[in-house]
Amino acid sequence: MKILYIGDIMGKPGRQMVKKVLPNLIREEGIDFVIAQGENLSSGKGLQIKAVEDMMAAGINFFTGGDWTLHREEIHPWLDDPARPLIRPANYPAGTPGRGYKLADTPFGKILVISLLGQTVGYRAPVVDNPLEVVDRILEETKSQKIIASVVNFHGDFSSEKIVIGQYLDGRVTAVVGDHWHIPTADARILPGGTAHITDVGMVGSRDSSLGIKTSIIVNRWKTGQLSRNELEIGGQMQFCSLLIDLPMGKSHVQAAKQIIIFG
């Protein structure tokens, strides 16, 4: 079974790149299930239902979440509904809308998808539960389920957190995929216990930008110290960053973990 994980899709430019690349990639690589980080689908902040449906029509089967997932209230019912292919970080405090993990039904069986937020993200330290304790609890809660694959998304800034949680879960899940940096790291590998891991998978959007945002805006903010509104970069060379995970059916060890980065 081949699972593709796509990094942060940055608004309309990212969605257009997904439409351009993904259908052919699915055919060429024989991909069976596609997961994408969706927290920036709509204008680089949060998700609108129409944007999610647009990406599902392009071939994405499931969406993980990050620190902007709850930004738009219209998506909250989707996060609550176990049948909708969308989650927010599982280690938000009790009472937060939505679910942090769900089981996705596929022709091959159930796939467990989990999102976790790092304890340092961006310019703030979010109030979240310990991700190691939370993922342990989820794996315990789902151990009676017949799961053919399990993918953990770790959304955070510290490389140490991303690397350590991969090693912590090695042999217990199919893959641990880091994101949030928007810059792909060159360390995709299979850990000793058979789990696929990458520190950061990258993003889908303009390469000629500051993580998908117009560089001029960031430079001005940096020089003046004044707060300003982010604006997505719609020009320049576009990039599509992803990780392809090859898991032989009936096996617990990943056979291959390959970065796929396409420019267009």
Domains of the chain: 2-263 (3.60.21.10)
Q: What is the pLDDT along the chain (264 residues), one digit of tens a residue?
A: 999 999 999 999 999 999 999 999 999 999 999 999 999 999 868 999 999 999 999 999 999 999 999 999 999 999 999 999 999 999 999 999 999 999 999 999 999 999 999 987 765 566 899 999 999 999 999 999 999 999 999 999 999 999 999 999 999 999 999 999 999 999 999 999 999 999 999 999 999 998 888 999 889 999 998 888 888 999 999 999 999 999 998 888 999 999 999 999
pLDDT at position 116 is 98
Cα–Cα distance, 40 to 256 (Å, whole number): 28
Angular region, 225: left φ>0, alpha ψ -120 to 50, beta rest: left
CA torsion, ordered 251, 257, 26, 200, to nearest 10 deg: 130
pLDDT at position 228 is 85
Q: State both tokens at 71.
A: 């930004």
CA distances in angstroms from 84 to 23, 72, 80, listed in the order given: 22, 16, 8
The answer to whether the CB of 13 falls within 8 A of the CB of 21 is: no
Indicate whether this model's pTM tops 0.75. yes
Q: State both tokens at 208.
A: 């000629």
